[in-house]
Structures are given as C-alpha cells and as structure tokens.
Amino acid sequence: MTFAVHGLPVARGIAIGRAVLVVSSRLDVAHYFIKPEEVEAEIDRLRVARNAVSEELQKLQASVALMGPNEAPHELSALLEVHLMLLQDEVLTSGVKHWIVERLYNAEWALTTQLEVVARQFDEMEDEYLRERKADLEQVVERLLHRMKGTAAVLAPTPPRRKRSAEDEDSDPTAGDAIDAPLVLIAHDLSPADMLQFKKSVFAGFVTDVGGRTSHTAIVARSMDIPAVVGARTASQLVRQDDWVIIDGDAGVVIVDPSPIILAEYGFKQRQGDLERGRLARLRHKPAVTLDGQRVDLLANIELPEDTLGAVKAGAVGVGLFRSEFLFMGREAQSLTRLPDEEEQYQAYKRAVEGMQGMPVTIRTIDVGADKPLDGKSVRDDAHLNPALGLRAIRWSLADPAMFLTQVRAILRAAAHGEIHLLIPMLAHASEIRQTLALIDFARAELDNRGMVHGHVKLGAMIEVPAAALTLRIFLKHFDFLSIGTNDLIQYTLAIDRADESVAHLYDPAHPAVLRLVAETIAECRRQGKGVSVCGEMAGDIAFTRLLLGMGLRSFSMHPSQILAVKQEVLRADTSKLTRWVEQVLESDDPASLLLPAPAPQ
C-alpha cells in the first residue's frame, strides 16, 4: 500500500530505489559493503561468533543446573534454552547470510538488518508470550555483536554492482529481486562520521527521523549532491527493508511502495532534474560576473581532501571552507594517540592544496562539539545539557593546546605548497583572540626551531556568534578577513538548536535580526578594506543570492553541487539596481515576503 511520510527537504532532487535500513543498536555497529571475495570470510565470522555464544550459553545452562532452586529459579534455565533456540533459528541465520551474499553487507550490518525483519514478525504475532520473545532475540543479537566486535574486515568503499540482464531492463523496475536497483538509506539518525562513511558508497538518497535543515547530516548530504529528507519522525519504523521508496528532496516527502502511476510521475521529474543539471553544467567555465561587471568569487565547502575534485569540476575558484574536523571523526576523543598526528594532517592539507591546482584553500581549525562529536556518538546522550553552548570549536582547541598546536603546525607546513588561509571558528572574546594568535605564533616558532619549512597564511575569523557580529572592530584589528557562518549565526541569534526537528520551523535565515547582522558585517568589512565571505548554507541558497550581492558580498562559499545554480543567479543580477530593494528588505518586518521573486534587471 502506498503511503507518504513528510519531513524537511535538505538536499534537492528525486531519488528512487530500494530501502536500506540502518537499525539502531545498543552497540556501535559498523555498516559497510564487502567485496564478493570477502563473502565467505564474513559468513565465517558470523559462524565463529554463533558457536562461541552457543558454547557460552551452554556453560551457563550447566552452571544453573548445579545451583539450587533458591539460587537459580527454573525460569532462568528455560530462558537460556529459548536463547539457544533463537541462536540456532534458521530464519535468523539464513536471513543474515542472505544480506551478506545478496547485498554484500558486512556481518554486523546483516545481523542487525535481519533482526529488524524478524522483530517486525514478532510484533505482528497475536500471542502475547510470543510477542515478548522479541526482547530475547535482541539480547541474542547483542551477544553476537559483542563477540564480533573488533573482528571487522577492512572497509570496502563501494559494493560491486551486478549487471542486469536485458530481460530485467525491459521489466517493471520494481519487479523481481532487482539487485542492481539504486539504494536509498533510511535511518533514525546519522552522525557526521556515518555520513562520511556512506559518502564513499552508492546510496542515491537518504532519509532520517531526526535532524534540521542545517544539521551536519543535512550539510554532508548536500555535499554528496543526493536527495535527502530529515526530520521524517517515524520513517525508520514505517519503511521496511527492501521497500521501494521515492525521496522527493524538493518537497520533503518520502513515498513508500509507490504505484506505477506515481513512479512514472517521479521518473519524469527525475529526468527533468537531470536536464536542468545538464543546462547548468554549461556555465562551468563561464566567469561569475554580474550584468554590471562585478566579479564574484564562488568558492567550495569541502570535508575531505578528495572533495577538491568535485570543487574543481564544479568551477570553484578556491575552497572557502575546509571543515578539518572531518579528518578527526570517528576516533577516540580522549586519546591524542588516536587523533591524526601532525604528519597525517600535513599530508591531508597538502593534498587539498594540490587538488585545487593553485587556487586558495581556506582551512577552518577543528570545530567539534554540538552535533559533531569526535567519537561519532550523539552528544545529546552525554552529560552536557546544551552542547551547542558548551565546549566546542575554538573553545575546545584552547582547552587542549597540544592538539591545536599540532593542527596549526600541519597547516603552516602545508602552506609552503600553495595559498592557504587559516580560519578560526566561534571566537567571541578579545581574550580568545589573543590566546589563539599567541598559539599560532608559538606554532611558527616551533617549526622555526625544528628547521622545518612552512608558509605564510592569511588569518581569518568566523562570525557566527552575535557577540562577534556586534564587536567587529575588535576582530578587524587582528584578522585579514572574516567569514560569516550563517548556520550558527542563525542558531545563536534565534536560540534555535539547528539539529532539533521539533523547533526546525523557527529556524529562519530571513529573520530581520539575522539579515541585519549579516548586512552590517559585510558593510563594515568593505569600509575597512577587509575580505568577507559567507560560508554558511545561505551562500548556496539561490533565494538569497541577489540579496547578498545587493549587500555588497562578492565572495560566496558553498557545496560544489550548489555553485552552478548560484552562478546562474549571479550572471542574471545587476547589483547597481539592487540597493533600494535591499534597503526595503532590511527595513521590513517580514523580509521573506520580499525575497522571492527578487527584482529582475530593468
């Protein structure tokens, strides 16, 4: 039966494919694809774990038998027997093998996937006793996962695709096994580290129950240029493994088990989107110059050095934001030995510089905390009541000077290979500025003492806290340029947790207070002859392109997938005719009503 789930559209386009559910577990479960030649090894891992758990349960049974009735009630022995039966159950074991052999899932992923399938069968049972056995099954799976923990194979970035036969091509796309069908990811939530792992995979789109428009899950989705919907509430509970799903990233709608008519309609929309992208691709080599001759720099936001390939392909004239924290994701935050050392970071930054082929690269120092924990776990589960207001970004770095110095030394060394700008996130106090600059000077002195080659970097600060936007004079004394991080600026100005879907409707980039802070920052930088850019999601939103141009912005940094659409808006704009309209927007109580459509050149 066809039904729809509504959420927040965060990455545009249409995706049609089979659902892959990432099932939550009390353990951290790795999800990755294996190579065909690794199938037997994964099945062996599962078999070894099952035999070990079976032996463990049998030993427990034996010890229970030796105990008196007061020490171990009869029910305990019966419970262990149930666990042994579930462990050997053919539905569980054959199902897990199916996901390993047919879908090339790693053993842990296959196990949690089959758990989800069987658990739903338990939920549908009329007998209350049988329904309650689902908890026993979950406990058995947890035991297996514990046994397999630490024995995972090396990650394979993409699964090999099986070629479909001519008969398959001519058939209904939803008919049969459709091994070669596109895959769409359905999850309750995904950490930034999860997203990086899936970024190297083959998913055509994804849906999460939680998240906001500018949560980092959404940001990485846009960088992957795949349709995505977040904040879909119960999607992971309603969608079943292998269901056919349509993700409408424009409307924020997820359609499950679509009818042939709906499939045809969305297939047409998908082709129209492909045609539009083809038309935009023709603008790649065209300089971004407005109708009145204003040159505009369109830069790229990246997470990893390999992303520079997409940036160059999209026509970016540099990297305006390299989110360096993604080099740190998924490691133990408590142990510096598990973090990337100076050499590893240096090589990564050097690859990014080389990848941009002589164009400038702006590297933001590590910005962790809030929705970007180092260990991949949700910070909302830890002791911090409000991590967005806690130890994050430059506060984190200043609390751990050794880590910060390691990163700064690596960046300075990489600057010997090309133009690098060093960007500091979330500064708000003059004392923080002084501490930061002193540590950067100390890092330079350390390299000099070692006799190591390093280069000059321009220093910049992020304006993402209202306190910073209101004290620009202090910042412009010390920094060569400023970069407006609109995602956090909106969050902190409006007191909205941008990762919380329950208040997502209040997240408003067109709020008068936000627009005034942005406009005043741009104007002050221009008055003092300092560079300024916008690197938040507002920079890649074509609804704001002409407004930002009218405010005087000439440097936009966004995901590579958004560059061509923004370039088209730039090419159609006449900044000399935008001044009065911008004033009207800034004076309005309801700026959003004036943004679309923006005035066309006369």
Spell out the domain ranges in the chain. 3-21+168-174+182-278, 36-148, 294-595
- Tell me the fold of 3-21+168-174+182-278: Glucose Oxidase; domain 1 (3.50.30)
Which range, 152-161, 436-445, 558-567, is most confident? 436-445
User: Is residue 88 very low, low, confident or very high in pLDDT (cuts 50, 70, 90)?
Assistant: confident
| Rounded-to-integer distance, Cα 294 and Cα 288, Å | 8
pLDDT at 465 over 60: yes
pLDDT for res 17: 93
Residues, the chain: 602
Mean pLDDT, range 464-481, rounded to an integer: 97
pLDDT for res 126: 67
* Catalytic annotation, pick one of 83, 188, 454, 535: 535
pLDDT for res 201: 64
Q: What is the mean pLDDT of the chain?
A: 84
* Catalytic annotation, pick one of 216, 421, 454, 559: 216
277 or 589, which is more confident: 589
Judge whether 525 counts as a catalytic residue.
no
Contact yes or no for 493/511 (Cβ under 8 A): yes
Contact yes or no for 185/207 (Cβ under 8 A): yes
pLDDT for res 216: 64
- Token pair 């790229």 in the structure block, residue: 300
pLDDT at 573 over 50: yes
Contact yes or no for 160/36 (Cβ under 8 A): yes
- Which CATH number is 36-148 given? 1.10.274.10
**Which ranges of 389-485 would DSSP assign to H, the alpha helix?**
394-399, 401-414, 430-450, 466-469, 472-478
| Rounded-to-integer distance, Cα 412 and Cα 455, Å | 6
pLDDT at 93 over 70: yes
What value does the CA radius of gyration of the chain take, rounded to a whole number of Å? 27
Segments of 125-202 assigned E as strands: 183-187
Contact yes or no for 12/249 (Cβ under 8 A): yes
pLDDT for res 73: 46
27 or 316, which is more confident: 316
Contact yes or no for 323/348 (Cβ under 8 A): no
Q: Which two tokens stand for residue 335?
A: 């142990």
| Rounded-to-integer distance, Cα 320 and Cα 198, Å | 24
Q: Which two tokens stand for residue 364?
A: 């933001």
DSSP structure class, residue 601:
P
pLDDT for res 290: 97
pLDDT for res 198: 64
Contact yes or no for 498/491 (Cβ under 8 A): yes
- Token pair 């350390």 in the structure block, residue: 446
User: Is residue 506 very low, low, confident or very high in pLDDT (cuts 50, 70, 90)?
Assistant: confident
Mean pLDDT, range 28-50, rounded to an integer: 88
pLDDT at 371 over 80: no
- Token pair 């969050």 in the structure block, residue: 491
376 Rama class: left (phi>0) / alpha (psi -120 to 50) / beta:
left
User: Is residue 87 very low, low, confident or very high in pLDDT (cuts 50, 70, 90)?
Assistant: confident
**Least-confidence region, from 152-161, 347-356, 416-425:** 152-161
Q: 294-595: which CATH number, 3.30.43.10, 3.30.2130.10, 1.10.10.10, 3.20.20.60?
A: 3.20.20.60
Which range, 217-221, 296-300, 379-383, is most confident? 296-300
pLDDT at 581 over 60: yes
User: Is residue 37 very low, low, confident or very high in pLDDT (cuts 50, 70, 90)?
Assistant: very high
173 Rama class: left (phi>0) / alpha (psi -120 to 50) / beta:
alpha
Q: For a pLDDT cut of 70, what percent of the chain falls above it?
A: 80
User: Is residue 380 very low, low, confident or very high in pLDDT (cuts 50, 70, 90)?
Assistant: very low
Burial 25-43 (b: 16+ CB within 10 A, else e): eeeebbbbbbeeebeeebb
pLDDT for res 522: 98
Segments of 485-566 assigned E as strands: 531-534, 555-558
pLDDT for res 91: 83
User: Is residue 233 very low, low, confident or very high in pLDDT (cuts 50, 70, 90)?
Assistant: confident
User: Is residue 121 very low, low, confident or very high in pLDDT (cuts 50, 70, 90)?
Assistant: confident
| Rounded-to-integer distance, Cα 201 and Cα 183, Å | 10
pLDDT for res 127: 63
Judge whether 216 counts as a catalytic residue.
yes
| Rounded-to-integer distance, Cα 493 and Cα 508, Å | 10
Neighbours of 157 (CB within 10 A): 11
Q: Is 552 helix (H, G, I), strand (E, B) or coil?
A: coil
| Rounded-to-integer distance, Cα 7 and Cα 233, Å | 7
pLDDT at 477 over 60: yes
pLDDT at 66 over 90: no
The model's pTM is 0.70
- Token pair 């789930």 in the structure block, residue: 5
Mean pLDDT, range 531-554, rounded to an integer: 96
Mean pLDDT, range 187-197, rounded to an integer: 67
